[in-house]
Amino acid sequence: MVQQDGTLLEDVVKERVKRKFYKKLLIPLIPVILFVLSILLVLILVLFSVSGGKVNNWSGDISDVGSSEIPAEYLQIYHDAGEAYGVPWNLLAAIHKVETDFGQVLAVSSAGAIGHMQFMPKTWIGWSYPGVPSSLELTSVALINQYGGYGVDGDGDGKADPYNACDAIYAAANYLAANGAADGDYSAAVYAYNHADWYVEKVLSIAESYVATTKVSGAGFIWPVPSNYTTISSPFGYRSNPVTGAYHLHSGIDIPVPTGTDIYASKSGTVTAAAYHSSMGNYVMIDHGDGTSTIYMHNSQLLVNVGTVVTQGQVIAKAGTTGNSTGPHCHFSIKVSGEFVNPLDYVSVP
């Protein structure tokens, strides 16, 4: 049968049947679709929160807050322990602050935690240890190794003493590394240390306050020296060389810093040169894989080799005054497509 608009009645019936079929098929699937979407949303939020626990540039310099709060005698221990276990130094300092106010309050906690970093005795010596360890047994490196504890002989005196600041800080680094900090999941590591959300928030907040903020430019570069050194003694451009007197392009910027100052990789990449040159002195060149490269000259010490893959903020050298130089500084150059450019067009001054 043909309807007034010319369509066959059979076609109309088929279309209606088809619609009813799709409705019956889709309606039961709606909860499933919503469930899948909710799972995806949760995964996105989890990934975001995890990345939120990974703080950028935590290998940075100590901030004014850190300088005023952290006792000087512990600072190098935090750095050494952090480097040994791949844990940010400021995370160790923050836990030391929260747990015992840098060792000023060494009372046994209500839960029985002891020492500078407030370890449970069985966490220190190993939970498989039978019974309660004595003070002498607790410091035994052999027993700790036997029972899988986290105690560490940080100062190499043959004992792992939770009341020894160095040993306790190294042990905390060991524990945090084993619980995610070495992989950058600081939130999970701190939560494992003390199972409380408020504790995680407090420790991470203090840890952040202990490092100076490093600005990443829109081009993705960071300042190549500690953020308290911002003076530029010689800008990019043509000049008379202060050593040779020749007039030519000064291919970068000179940042005066004391000898031995850390030199940072301004951007992640691969080291393509690490050698001595008569005019550049000890220098490092990094290829960033995007048509850009950076050069760091006049160093007193090189800490990387050709082929080393470096991450942004990694210490690659120590500043000096080697080569043609009138004083300790970092000469910092950026190349784009093989041509020198003004670094200040690509990097932000702190």
Instruction: State percent of the chain over pLDDT 70.
Output: 83
Q: Are strands 281-287 and 292-299 parallel, antiparallel or unpaired?
A: antiparallel
Provide the β-strand partners of residue 311. none
CA 350 vs. chain centroid, Å, equals 18
**Whole-angstrom Cα distance, residue 25 to residue 287?**
56
Instruction: Please choose, from the candidates 52, 57, 118, 132, the residue with its C-alpha nearest in 3D space to the C-alpha of residue 90.
Output: 57
119 — pLDDT class (breaks 50, 70, 90):
very high
Tell me which residue of 157, 183, 185 sits closest to 170, measured CA to CA.
Answer: 157
32 pLDDT more than 80: no
Cα pseudo-dihedral 104, 92, 54, 194, rounded to 10? -60
Tens digits of residue pLDDT in 126-177: 999 999 999 999 999 999 999 999 999 999 999 999 999 999 999 999 999 9
Question: Strand runs (DSSP E) across the chain, as ranges?
Answer: 237-240, 247-250, 253-256, 262-264, 269-277, 281-287, 292-299, 301-302, 309-310, 315-318, 329-336, 339-341
**Comparison of pLDDT for 92 and 66, the residue scoring more:** 92
Q: Which two tokens stand for residue 158?
A: 């043959």
Does pLDDT of 315 surpass 70?
yes
What pLDDT digit, counting tens, does each position of 101-118 carry?
999 999 999 999 999 999
pTM for this predicted structure: 0.53
Joined tokens for residue 52:
């939120």
Helix, strand, coil % in the chain, rounded to nearest 5: 40, 20, 45
Q: What is the pLDDT of residues 221-274, one digit of tens each?
A: 999 999 889 999 999 988 777 777 778 789 999 999 999 999 999 999 999 999
Tell me how far apart the alpha carbons of residues 12 and 15 are, in angstroms, rounded to a whole number.
5
Q: What is the pLDDT of residues 175-185, one digit of tens each?
A: 999 999 888 88
